[in-house]
Amino acid sequence: MRFLVLLSSLLWSIAAFSQVEKVDLSTPRKTVYNHLWYLQKEQYKPGLAAKSLANKKIEMANPERLAIQLKQIFDGKGYFIQLEKIPDEAGFIDSVSGEHKVVVTPELPDIYVVKQGNDWVYSAVSIEAIPRLHKEVYPGGLDRLINAVPASWKTEFLGLEVGQYIGILLILAAALLFHRVLTFLFRRLILGVLRRFNKSYVSSGRLKTVARPLSWYLLIKFIAQLVPALLLPIAISKYVQMVLHAAAPFFGTLMFYNLVGLLSDFFKSRAEKTDGTLDDQLVPLVSKVMRAIVLLVGVAYVLFGLGFDIRPYLVGVSFGGIALALAAQDTVKNLFGSAMIFLDRPFQIGDWINYNGMDGTVEEVGFRSTRMRTFYNSVITIPNGKLADSSVDNYGLRVYRRYSTKITITYDTPPELVQVFVEGLREIVKNHPDTRKDYFEVHLNDLGATSLEILFYIFFTAKDWSGELRGRHDVVMAILQLAKKLGVRFAFPTQTIHIEELPGQLSTTPQYRQSKGQFEDEMRNFIDDWKKNINKQG
């Protein structure tokens, strides 16, 4: 009887042991489940977990260690294996490769299971990739740090071990300390580079806006390498890695956004030193475009780090952009026209231009159109596409401003007085401070129907229209005063009836009794007095 009891107990133990040791690898899902299930703390059996790696095509010295390392890769990178998405069919065939193959997680395409006989196991490629991937996740053997802590630190509290809490606090403290140090170093480095170019326009606050995000970006990358060493539970590691993957591009975007502002200040200071005004408006426009690009790219990377698959949206945006470009050809043409205007610089802000018979000063150059204020104070908006394809007469680029007129005097003016008057006109041109001295034409030019015509063809060196008008005023006033001084009469289209002189009546024709020398003396006296007055005004 006792023998029967012992025999039944032995048989029950053997049956129970066989039931525990038996694993199910009949489908891809069960194989992956077997690997992960027997590495949980409650039923930690690495030997059974290693059954999922029993690939006949490769020899393994320590399959249990490989099974543990593979799970550490999943946990360290926060790759939560969704078993419900893994096929549970024994004869599953991948539609892409046409093989019995299932990738465990899309983030690790090298880790997949294949069918061998009636079982599904991890592929030889996966097994060979495990050591390499493990070193990438835990460089320098960081996974052994937690195992080296005292046993008292492994007491669990709220789902984490005491050693993990201590590791988190140490990482945060080190991050804050290194953030201050790196911020100081980067600020000094940037300031040192700028000082080499003698750029004193950058404020300390502007440098901090670049140095701080750069410091945080590098620290986030460093923390992302240390976090796997904490061996956090996958439920926590998943969200920690998600936050880190989103934080890195966030601080990178912030750094580049502020860096654009720093470069904008640099180019703005350079633009202020140039004579042109178009680049003064180009700098803020380019700065806005660059910041918009940085924000768009940064948002895309942040969303990608949070786990959003934005590739379908990018494809949709690209096709939508093509359709939009085809529908908005004029807008695209205007944008290219804007680029040509900024590159060729046919005019500057404030230049007086003539476009299709319309005169005005350039008030603003945008990416789509140019605004021109006319001389009757209205504003004309010209598409840059048309402006770039048309002829634009830029009066603002004139080195000299021409003034051409005909001075008409009466026929009864003596020839010697005409000669002195013409010489006086030339002296006016030579002595005015705003006239071109190396080229002008003042000559008795024609015998008109009612007058002698003197060509008065000169140039002013005035920078703007107001300066030109002031110069004209001075010259015309000098001509009138010289004519009055010499007694020269200006002719205008009239009809004069000459009646023979009667006794007791004076002739209407002026009598010139001075000699040429007297005319010259009067002319020189006038020029001397006029030079004194014009110099006082200047």
Q: Supply the pTM of this predicted model.
A: 0.50
Angle among Cα 343, 349, 351 to the nearest 5 degrees reads 105
More confident of the two residues 350 and 507: 350
Sign of the Cα torsion 245, 251, 256, 257 reads positive
> In this predicted structure, what is the pLDDT of residue 197?
58
Classify residue 335: in a domain, yes or no: no
CA-to-CA distance for 135 and 142, rounded, in angstroms? 9
Q: Does 482 lie in the same domain as 526?
A: yes
> In this predicted structure, what is the pLDDT of residue 459?
94
Give the orientation angle of helix 124-137 with respect to helix 63-77, to 10 degrees: 50
> In this predicted structure, what is the pLDDT of residue 15?
37
Task: Measure CA 326 to chain center.
Answer: 25
Q: Does 389 lie in the same domain as 289?
A: no
CATH of the domain at 416: 3.30.70.100
CATH of the domain at 380: 2.30.30.60
> In this predicted structure, what is the pLDDT of residue 407?
93
Q: Does 410 lie in the same domain as 359?
A: no
* β-bridge partners, 361: 352, 373
Using an 8 Å Cβ cutoff, are 105 and 79 in contact?
yes
Q: Which amino acid is at 9?
A: S
Q: Does 425 lie in the same domain as 530?
A: yes
H or E stretch covering 460: strand 452-460
Q: What is each CA distance from 308 to 74, 76, 220, 242, 536, in whole angstroms?
A: 19, 20, 20, 11, 76
Give the model's confidence band at 133: pLDDT under 50 very low, under 70 low, under 90 confident, else very high: confident
Here the tokens at position 126 are: 């996966």
- Specify burial of residue 385 (Cβ count, 10 A radius: 0-12, 13-18, 19+): buried
Q: Does 267 lie in the same domain as 373?
A: no
- List, for residues 149-162, the tens digit of each pLDDT value: 555 555 566 656 66
Classify residue 383: in a domain, yes or no: yes
Q: Residue 24 above 60 pLDDT? A: yes
Classify residue 70: in a domain, yes or no: yes
Q: Residue 33 above 80 pLDDT? A: yes
Q: What is each CA distance from 46 to 2, 49, 460, 530, in whole angstroms?
A: 37, 5, 96, 111
Q: Does 409 lie in the same domain as 369?
A: no
Q: Does 188 lie in the same domain as 238?
A: yes
Average the pLDDT over 192-204 and give the result: 59
- Percentage of residues in the chain having pLDDT higher than 90: 13
CA-to-CA distance for 457 and 435, rounded, in angstroms? 11
Mapped onto helix, strand or coil, the DSSP state of residue 107 is: coil
Classify residue 318: in a domain, yes or no: no
**Torsion angles phi and psi, residue 398, rounded to 5:** -65, 135
CA-to-CA distance for 268 and 199, rounded, in angstroms? 12
Q: Does 250 lie in the same domain as 176?
A: yes
CA neighbor of 265 nearest in space, from 284, 252, 282, 279? 284
Q: Report the number of distinct structural domains present in the chain.
A: 4
Classify residue 106: in a domain, yes or no: yes
- List, for residues 241-263, the tens digit of each pLDDT value: 788 888 888 888 888 888 888 77
Using an 8 Å Cβ cutoff, are 28 and 88 in contact?
yes
Classify residue 145: in a domain, yes or no: no
- List, for residues 89-126, the tens digit of each pLDDT value: 888 888 888 888 888 888 888 888 888 888 898 988 88
Here the tokens at position 258 are: 């502020």
Angle among Cα 95, 97, 103 to the nearest 5 degrees reads 85
Classify residue 256: in a domain, yes or no: yes
Q: Does 372 lie in the same domain as 474?
A: no
> In this predicted structure, what is the pLDDT of residue 488?
92
- List, for residues 456-483, the tens digit of each pLDDT value: 999 998 887 888 899 999 999 999 999 9
Q: Does 174 lie in the same domain as 290?
A: yes
CA neighbor of 282 nearest in space, from 292, 295, 299, 270? 270
Here the tokens at position 509 are: 């024709």
CA-to-CA distance for 246 and 232, rounded, in angstroms? 19
Using an 8 Å Cβ cutoff, are 128 and 62 in contact?
no
**By residue range, what is the domain housing residue 531?**
401-493+511-537
Q: Does 305 lie in the same domain as 178?
A: yes
Angle among Cα 503, 508, 509 to the nearest 5 degrees reads 115
Give the model's confidence band at 2: pLDDT under 50 very low, under 70 low, under 90 confident, else very high: very low
Q: Which residues contact 177 (CB under 8 A, 6 or more apart)?
A: none
